[in-house]
Amino acid sequence: MKLTIAKSAGYCFGVKRAVNMVYQEAEEAKVPVYTYGPIIHNEEVVRDLKQRGVHVVRELKELENLPKGKIIIRSHGISRREHEAMKACGFEVLDATCPFVLKIHRLVEKYSKEGYRIVIAGNEHHPEVEGILGWVEGQPAYTVTSQEDIEKLPLKEGEKVCLVAQTTFNYNKFQELVEIIKKKGYDISVLDTICNATEERQTEARKIAAESDLMIVIGDKHSSNTQKLYEISKKECANTYYIQTSKDMDYHQIQSINNVGITAGASTPNNIIEEVSKNVRNEL
Ligand code: F3S
């Protein structure tokens, strides 16, 4: 039997960096440590951090009644207003915003100051997009996900427009939107700000699932990127399992299988991936 574990399984660079920062602060800080929102979409990790004394702050107004300490911004990033409000409340702000997201903040700030209208290809309700919108200077910005959204933009021909993308936006869909918006006669600057970590993970999952008789996808049930990995894998391999922890899998059935594949969502910790792999190997 052969076991193939996706190289791209689990935390991407930005999430790894953010989670490590929180664990390090939990261990070393002499003051209370907070994260602004759960550091990742993984209940186990958030619970573990809670046991180490890290408290999740969900709204800025909570800060008024909390003992002062360090507050860590997660990889999605936040708006300038939130940043400043935290500092004004007397908290030390530790920024774990992914550098790829920070780059978008700097770009929309610069372009909006130069008079460009900002259009973001992305989900307006996603915290990353809300954060990006919060760095646009002095004018309304817009989010689009479809041709319909582009048709509705209240922008005029010849107007300076800057299009960026949410880091996890689908690459092909972005190219389609670029083609549509380019025909609108704007003075347009397109900045491809998509991060390829998601794309790579999906491509690898598709390839491994196609070569496997049984595929295991590990991740939190609320993680949308894990759900996507499951859908992709299931299409290639009907025998695909979606599990949250090692306990969710019945490993005995693996005995009769030739090729097993494993992948995991962006918020799945390494120790869970290792545990599942070890249990699979025990059945070899
Ligand atoms: Fe950063 Fe890309 Fe991950 S933007 S948080 S490395 S998905």
Question: Domain check: are 115 and 74 in the same one?
Answer: no
Which of these is catalytic: 25, 62, 128, 148? 128
Supply the pLDDT for residue 273. Answer: 97
Place of tokens 């991060």: 195
Q: SS3 for 21? A: helix
> To test ligand 1's pocket by mutation, which of 8, 97, 98 has the most ligand atoms within 8 angstroms of CB?
98
Name the pTM for this structure: 0.86
The tally of domains found in the chain comes to 3
The residues, ordered by sequence, that sit 6+ positions from 13 with a Cβ below 8 Å of its Cβ are 98, 197
Q: SS3 for 234? A: helix
For residue 51, pLDDT over 80 is answered with: yes
Q: SS3 for 141? A: coil
Question: Domain check: are 81 and 125 in the same one?
Answer: no
Q: Domain of 84: which CATH number? A: 3.40.50.11270
Query: Which residues form the domain of 240?
Result: 2-10+197-282
Supply the pLDDT for residue 188. Answer: 97
Say how many Å lie between the CA of residue 151 and the centre of ligand 1: 30
Q: Buried (b) or exposed (e) across 257-267, using 16+ Cβ within 10 A?
A: beebbbbbbbb
Q: Which of 57, 75, 97 is the last residue of a domain?
A: 97
Place of tokens 């590990």: 218
For residue 198, pLDDT over 90 is answered with: no
C-alpha to C-alpha distance for 116 and 107, rounded to whole angstroms: 11
Ligand 1 contact via 101 beta carbon (within 6 Å): yes
Closest CA to 278 of 262, 256, 267, 265: 262
Lowest mean pLDDT segment, chosen from 102-111, 144-153, 264-273: 264-273
Supply the pLDDT for residue 222. Answer: 80
Q: Which of 97, 131, 162 is the last residue of a domain?
A: 97
Q: Which of 60, 77, 97 is the last residue of a domain?
A: 97
The residues, ordered by sequence, that sit 6+ positions from 229 with a Cβ below 8 Å of its Cβ are 201, 202, 205, 217, 219, 263, 264, 265
Global ipTM: 0.98
Q: What does the pLDDT look like over 205-256, one tens digit per residue?
A: 999 999 999 999 999 888 878 999 999 999 999 999 999 999 999 999 898 8
Supply the pLDDT for residue 196. Answer: 87
Q: Domain of 129: which CATH number? A: 3.40.1010.20
* Cβ 262 vs Cβ 9: under 8 Å: yes
